[in-house]
């Protein structure tokens, strides 16, 4: 195959304990997957979650022990953090049954669904697409992926985000409206999932704005910490 110019290498994420990297195919995101966050966004908390995507190259992959640098994005005055559990798929498929969904998981990571909230709000008002609020460059920071075999029991794990050492978001993962299995099953009815897909599974309550200089530290029990500084 001859291309008109050399294609860029795929965006990728480091893998804990491996010499290889996880190549990203697509980035799916679940919105309103925690009732308390849905309520803080003006919903009742009983609506089904929603899906949206970010481009694969919006990923800001951060190495273990490192602090990623997130350039403050253009056009916004309200850059919000959303700490999320990220599922990395090692195997794809369509119409995946919830009972078989976890067999498709390669590993898990901590991610941030960074959001230009003011632009997202404008688009909600205009009933337009969310892309300008959600799918900008560097909008998807992610820490190293821990392969499933090395992950403990996520069912009892907790997710949290500290900004400059202060706790901003915190929840047991068990508070997700759709579990990881259900998210994979629902997504696979709408899209053909593939190895390399990342799924940001939604954020708990407590989203708020960050600015230049702020240090974000995201944690999920049993996974590598994600550290990002807003530049």
* Three-class DSSP labels, 1-42: CCCCCCCCCCCEEEECCCCCEEECCCEEEEECCEHHHHHHCC
**Cβ at position 6, least distance to Mn ion in Å:** 34
Task: Assign 57 to helix, strand or coil.
Answer: helix
Pairing mode of beta strands 158-163, 27-31: unpaired
| Closest CB to Mn ion among residues 15, 135 | 135
Tell me whether residue 33 is exposed, middle or buried, using C-beta atoms within 10 angstroms of its C-beta: 0 to 12, 13 to 18, 19 or more: buried
Tokens 């807003």 label which residue?
230
Q: Which stretch binds Mn ion (CB under 5 A): 9-17, 56-64, 82-90, 183-191?
A: 82-90
| Closest CB to Mn ion among residues 61, 207 | 207
**Cβ at position 195, least distance to Mn ion in Å:** 23
CA–CA separation, 198 and 186 (whole Å): 15
Number of residues that bind Mn ion (CB under 5 A): 3
Near Mn ion by CB under 5 A: residue from 52, 85, 86, 113: 113
| Closest CB to Mn ion among residues 82, 217 | 82
Contact between 203 and Mn ion (CB under 5 A)? yes
Q: Which tokens in the block code for residue 200?
A: 């940001």
| Closest CB to Mn ion among residues 76, 203 | 203
Q: Which ranges in the chain belong to alpha helices (H)?
A: 35-40, 98-101, 117-125, 131-134, 180-190
| Closest CB to Mn ion among residues 21, 118 | 118
**Cβ at position 65, least distance to Mn ion in Å:** 25
**Cβ at position 51, least distance to Mn ion in Å:** 11
Near Mn ion by CB under 5 A: residue from 11, 49, 82, 85: 82
**Cβ at position 180, least distance to Mn ion in Å:** 15
Task: Assign 148 to helix, strand or coil.
Answer: helix
**Cβ at position 113, least distance to Mn ion in Å:** 3
- Residues at the interface with Mn ion (CB under 5 A): 82, 113, 203
């Amino acid at each position: 195959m001859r291309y008109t110019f050399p294609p860029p290498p795929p965006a990728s994420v480091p893998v804990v304990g491996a010499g290889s990297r996880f190549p990203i195919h697509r980035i799916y995101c679940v919105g309103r997957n925690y009732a308390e966050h849905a309520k803080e966004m003006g919903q009742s908390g009983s609506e089904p979650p929603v899906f949206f995507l970010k481009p694969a190259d919006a990923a800001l992959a951060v190495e273990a022990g490192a602090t990623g640098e997130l350039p403050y994005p253009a056009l916004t005055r309200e850059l919000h953090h959303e700490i999320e559990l990220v599922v990395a798929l090692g195997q794809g498929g369509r119409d995946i049954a919830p009972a078989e969904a976890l067999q498709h998981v390669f590993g898990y990571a901590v991610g941030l669904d960074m959001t230009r909230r003011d632009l997202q709000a404008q688009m909600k008002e205009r009933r337009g697409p969310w892309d300008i609020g959600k799918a900008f460059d560097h909008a998807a920071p992610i820490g190293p992926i821990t392969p499933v075999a090395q992950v403990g029991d996520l069912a009892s794990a907790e997710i949290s985000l500290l900004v400059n050492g202060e706790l901003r978001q915190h929840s047991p993962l068990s508070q997700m409206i759709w579990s990881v299995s259900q998210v994979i099953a629902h997504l696979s009815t709408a899209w053909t999932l593939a190895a390399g897909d990342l799924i940001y599974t939604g954020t708990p309550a407590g989203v708020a704005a960050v600015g230049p200089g702020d240090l974000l530290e995201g944690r999920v029990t049993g996974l590598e910490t994600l550290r990002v500084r807003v530049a």
